[in-house]
Amino acid sequence: MEKTLILIKPNAIQRGLMGDIVTRFERKGLRIVGLKMMYLTDDLLKEHYAHLVERPFYPYLKASMQVAPVVACCLEGAEAVETVRLMVGVTNSRKALPGTIRGDFSMSGEQNVVHASDSIENALVEIKRFFRDDELFDYESAVTHFEYGGEESIKFK
């Protein structure tokens, strides 16, 4: 099944939101197949936010991502990339809908609690950026039959 990458940002770690955020994904039925806490180096951040390094706010973004560790999480499920982006909400948390993670937990466009891969292609690259192969776990869910219908289980295998 499809995989996507989440980073629980330092602002969420500081505010004690890690558990709430992980719980949302678990409750939704996304399977956690990788999970670790880490500090982000200058090089890793530059690569991860390559599309933003020239923007005036990059120094602030960089500092905010290095002030505490992040929790990287690889989630698996049918159409996981799109589903997780919907759960996260738009970049500016003030505009993010209530019920989304950013909409419920943040007032900021920068300190917006989570990162989520924005496309299937980027998810593949980002998962490799944050996890070695032996840090990802391929295990059977005991409740797959109750999470997906028969046709979906075949379609999204």
Where do contacts with ligand UDP occur on this chain (CB under 6 A)? 52, 57, 61, 91, 109-110, 112, 115, 118
The least distance separating ligand UDP from the CB of residue 78, rounded to whole angstroms, comes to 21
The least distance separating Mg ion from the CB of residue 118, rounded to whole angstroms, comes to 5
| Of residues 91 and 144, the one with the C-beta less far from ligand UDP | 91
| Of residues 35 and 52, the one with the C-beta less far from ligand UDP | 52
Binding residues for Mg ion, rule CB under 5 A, total 1
Q: Which residues contact 16 (CB under 8 A, 6 or more apart)?
A: none
| Of residues 121 and 152, the one with the C-beta less far from ligand UDP | 121
| Of residues 24 and 148, the one with the C-beta less far from ligand UDP | 24
**Separation CA 120–CA 12 (nearest Å):** 25
The least distance separating ligand UDP from the CB of residue 35, rounded to whole angstroms, comes to 20
CA distances from 79 to 63, 67, 112, 120, 156 (A): 32, 32, 23, 9, 8
Find the part of the chain contacting Mg ion (CB under 5 A) among 12-20, 36-44, 112-120, 145-153.
Answer: 112-120
Does 51 qualify as catalytic in the annotation? no
The least distance separating Mg ion from the CB of residue 137, rounded to whole angstroms, comes to 25
48 Rama class: left (phi>0) / alpha (psi -120 to 50) / beta? alpha
Q: Which of 48, 51, 115, 145 is catalytic?
A: 115
Residues engaged in binding Mg ion (CB under 5 A): 118
Catalytic residue set: 115
